């Protein structure tokens, strides 16, 4: 079977993450066969490649991985129950068949909690939640979660910052944390009293830029853009300051193999989004401006359930490589302008996430809409209860025909996932039922976009049930945390962080 583009990308990323190949020099320091295979797999993203070629590459790469696995602890298969088991005659630990284990967060300097979830109350009858969880890879190896996020409401503005620390850098989590905090603090101060000017007309022309400088022609929009870019620079300065504060630390020195910490050890991405409501044509429109350094994704779903991507992941020169705040030229004006995107429309949801979530929903267009649908179907974003008569009428027009048909098809779109967690975590759900809106739409034989826009069909698919027994009593941000920690994708092992600014679903 031909590998999908995302599976190939995730495998390459996993190899790079595991072996610490984050620069040209580091890649060149590995054996030639491995580097050659890495480039071959990059080439295999071309859809014209044959099944036979990809199968051959898969076999060759497995041989190299088996060799490498004897040099380091194995990175296990994300879902061992669904994969062939290891040959008992082969005692070499396999990257593909090893079982995931749980090791606690280490008691090292700058310890991060394993997970976090929070909410804020933005203006305009919107909800704002966010959560981050430690990835399977970090749980398996007993290392910290490298992600961070911040949510702030300041005046009429909602501010979101998300960051992913470089997996190969031992203290990148510090860079992720301080960059989010510094960026949000600056934006909260600079935008608190600021209001966009009233307009009789908003159009494409409103967002015109100067072709030379990249500045918005409209002064109020340019003001926000400048503050956004200033926040990115403030984030870098915070990372720089944090590195200097740890430069003479003995603990950091020892953990880094008897060398002093430098700013590259705090390498992290940064995704920023600011939001405010504009009254226009007797409706509430959302104005959003985003800026990004590195990978991850920002996506908006408008009132018509149309998807708009609000960033272009800032990739490096090599496959699986990304850029960071500490990368060369990332703070230059042209780079920041090229990574700044506006949005203006009534909104259903604005989602900002690290690549641990984004890569699980690749290609981003249209699969960011699927992400929103999964949040609805799993009742992270609650859908209103539908009347039995409406459910019956809607289901009669689908392949399942009735609520009984939905019950019979449950195994096709609901999976029971066992979480990787500490044994002593008695107050946590150990198994969780995860619904897939894409699989549900397939069983209904209705397009994904139509299912997501149909609250009655969504209710029929969930019947108001949450992912675990006690879930109904939990807050939306806690439901988000459990969902992030539980849903399964093959080759998905990274930390996951997702923030959502959303409008509640009404009948």
- Whether residue 304 sits in one domain with residue 189: yes
Pick from 175-184, 214-223, 464-473, 477-486: least confident = 464-473
Please give the pLDDT value at position 29.
42
Q: Which of 226, 261, 218, 224 is nearest to 243 (CA)?
A: 261
Residues 454-474 have a mean pLDDT of 92
Residues 300-328 have a mean pLDDT of 81
Q: What φ, ψ does residue 147 adopt, rounded to 5°?
A: -85, 160
- Whether residue 47 sits in one domain with residue 176: no
Question: Is there a domain that residue 418 lies in?
Answer: yes
- Whether residue 64 sits in one domain with residue 150: no
Rounded Cα distance, 460 and 387, in Å: 10
Question: Is there a domain that residue 109 lies in?
Answer: no
pLDDT at 246 exceeding the cut of 60: yes
- Whether residue 417 sits in one domain with residue 336: no
Region of 491 (left: φ > 0; alpha: ψ -120 to 50; beta: rest) is left
- Whether residue 293 sits in one domain with residue 165: yes
The band of 321, judged by pLDDT with boundaries at 50, 70 and 90, is: low
Q: Choose one of 318, 346, 361: the last residue of a domain.
A: 361
pLDDT in tens, 23-71: 444 444 444 445 455 555 555 444 445 555 555 665 666 555 555 544 4
Please give the pLDDT value at position 207.
98
Please give the pLDDT value at position 76.
54
pLDDT at 314 exceeding the cut of 50: yes
Task: Specify the higher pLDDT residue, 101 or 75.
Answer: 101
Region of 142 (left: φ > 0; alpha: ψ -120 to 50; beta: rest) is left
Residues 484-488 have a mean pLDDT of 96
What residue numbers bound the domain in which 225 lies?
Answer: 115-361
Please give the pLDDT value at position 23.
42
Class of residue 25 by CB neighbours under 10 A (exposed 0-12, middle 13-18, buried 19+) = exposed
Q: What is the DSSP letter of 215?
A: -
Number of domains in the chain: 3
pLDDT at 477 exceeding the cut of 90: yes
The band of 13, judged by pLDDT with boundaries at 50, 70 and 90, is: low
Are 106 and 134 within 8 A, CB to CB?
no
Q: What is the CATH number of the domain that holds 208?
A: 3.60.40
pLDDT at 390 exceeding the cut of 70: yes
The band of 425, judged by pLDDT with boundaries at 50, 70 and 90, is: confident
Pick from 17-26, 254-263, 369-378, 407-416: least confident = 17-26
Residues 323-336 have a mean pLDDT of 90
Please give the pLDDT value at position 472.
84
Read off the tokens for 285. 């429109």
Residues 77-102 have a mean pLDDT of 46
Please give the pLDDT value at position 489.
87
Share of the chain above pLDDT 90, in %: 70
pLDDT at 426 exceeding the cut of 80: no
- Whether residue 279 sits in one domain with residue 172: yes
Please give the pLDDT value at position 473.
87
pLDDT at 22 exceeding the cut of 90: no
The band of 12, judged by pLDDT with boundaries at 50, 70 and 90, is: low
- Whether residue 175 sits in one domain with residue 264: yes
Please give the pLDDT value at position 327.
84
Rounded Cα distance, 334 and 146, in Å: 28
Question: Is there a domain that residue 167 lies in?
Answer: yes
pLDDT at 182 exceeding the cut of 90: yes
Task: Specify the higher pLDDT residue, 505 or 221.
Answer: 221
pLDDT at 94 exceeding the cut of 90: no
- Whether residue 480 sits in one domain with residue 335: no
Please give the pLDDT value at position 319.
43
Please give the pLDDT value at position 150.
99
Does a cis peptide bond (omega within 30 degrees of 0) precede residue 414?
no
- Whether residue 447 sits in one domain with residue 405: yes
pLDDT in tens, 147-162: 999 999 999 999 999 9
pLDDT in tens, 185-235: 999 999 999 999 999 999 999 999 999 999 999 999 999 999 999 999 999
pLDDT at 428 exceeding the cut of 60: yes
Q: Choose one of 61, 82, 103: the last residue of a domain.
A: 82
pLDDT in tens, 109-164: 999 999 999 999 999 899 999 999 999 999 999 999 999 999 999 999 999 999 99
Rounded Cα distance, 79 and 489, in Å: 8
pLDDT at 424 exceeding the cut of 50: yes
Three-state secondary structure call for residue 290: strand
- Whether residue 193 sits in one domain with residue 282: yes
Q: What per-residue string of b and e applies to 188-208 under the rule 16 or more CB within 10 Å gives b?
A: bebbeeeebeeeeebeeeebe
Please give the pLDDT value at position 70.
46
Question: Is there a domain that residue 480 lies in?
Answer: yes
Residues 68-89 have a mean pLDDT of 43
- Whether residue 298 sits in one domain with residue 151: yes
The per-residue pLDDT of the chain, averaged, comes to 85
């Amino acid at each position: 079977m031909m590998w999908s583009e995302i599976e190939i990308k995730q495998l390459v990323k996993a190899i790079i993450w595991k072996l610490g190949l984050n620069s040209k020099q580091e890649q060149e320091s590995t054996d030639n066969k491995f580097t050659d295979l890495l480039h071959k797999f990059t080439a295999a993203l071309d859809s014209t490649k044959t099944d036979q070629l990809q199968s051959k590459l898969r076999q060759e790469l497995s041989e190299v991985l088996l060799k490498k696995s004897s040099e380091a602890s194995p990175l296990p298969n994300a879902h061992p129950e669904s994969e062939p088991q290891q040959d008992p005659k082969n005692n070499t630990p396999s990257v593909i068949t090893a079982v995931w284990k749980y090791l606690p967060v280490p008691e090292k300097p700058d310890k991060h909690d394993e997970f976090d979830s929070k909410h804020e109350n933005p203006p305009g009858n919107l909800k704002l939640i966010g959560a981050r969880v430690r990835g399977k890879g970090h749980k398996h190896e007993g290392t910290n979660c490298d992600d961070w996020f911040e949510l702030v409401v300041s005046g009429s503005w909602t501010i979101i910052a998300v960051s992913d620390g470089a997996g190969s850098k031992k203290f990148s989590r510090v860079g992720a944390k301080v960059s989010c905090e510094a960026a949000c603090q600056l934006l909260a101060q600079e935008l608190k009293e600021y209001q966009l000017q009233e307009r009789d007309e908003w159009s494409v022309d409103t967002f015109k830029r100067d072709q030379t400088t990249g500045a918005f022609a409209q002064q109020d929009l340019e003001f926000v853009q400048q503050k956004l870019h200033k926040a990115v620079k403030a984030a870098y300065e915070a990372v720089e300051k944090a590195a200097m504060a740890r430069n003479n630390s003995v603990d950091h020195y020892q953990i880094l193999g008897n060398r002093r910490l430098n700013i590259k050890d705090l390498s992290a991405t940064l995704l920023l989004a600011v939001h405010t409501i504009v009254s226009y044509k007797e409706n509430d429109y959302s104005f959003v401006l985003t800026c990004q350094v590195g990978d991850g994704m920002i996506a908006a779903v408008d009132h018509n359930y149309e998807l708009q991507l609000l960033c272009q992941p800032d990739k490096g020169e090599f496959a699986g490589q990304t850029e960071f705040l500490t990368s060369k030229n990332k703070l230059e004006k042209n780079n920041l302008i090229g990574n700044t995107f506006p949005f203006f429309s009534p909104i259903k949801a604005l989602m900002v996430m690290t690549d641990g979530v984004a890569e699980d929903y690749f290609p981003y267009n249209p699969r960011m809409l699927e992400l929103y649908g999964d949040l609805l179907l799993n009742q992270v974003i609650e859908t209103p209860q539908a009347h039995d008569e409406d459910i019956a009428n809607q289901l009669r027009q689908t392949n399942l025909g009735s609520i009984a048909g939905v019950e019979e098809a449950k195994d096709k779109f609901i999976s029971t996932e066992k979480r990787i967690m500490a044994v002593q975590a008695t107050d946590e759900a150990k198994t969780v039922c995860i619904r897939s809106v894409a699989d549900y739409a397939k069983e209904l034989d209705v397009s994904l976009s139509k299912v997501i826009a149909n609250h009655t069909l969504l209710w029929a698919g969930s019947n108001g049930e949450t992912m675990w027994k006690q879930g109904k009593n939990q807050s939306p941000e806690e439901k988000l945390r459990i969902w992030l920690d539980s849903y399964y994708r093959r080759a998905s092992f990274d930390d996951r962080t997702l923030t959502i600014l959303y409008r509640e679903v009404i009948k």
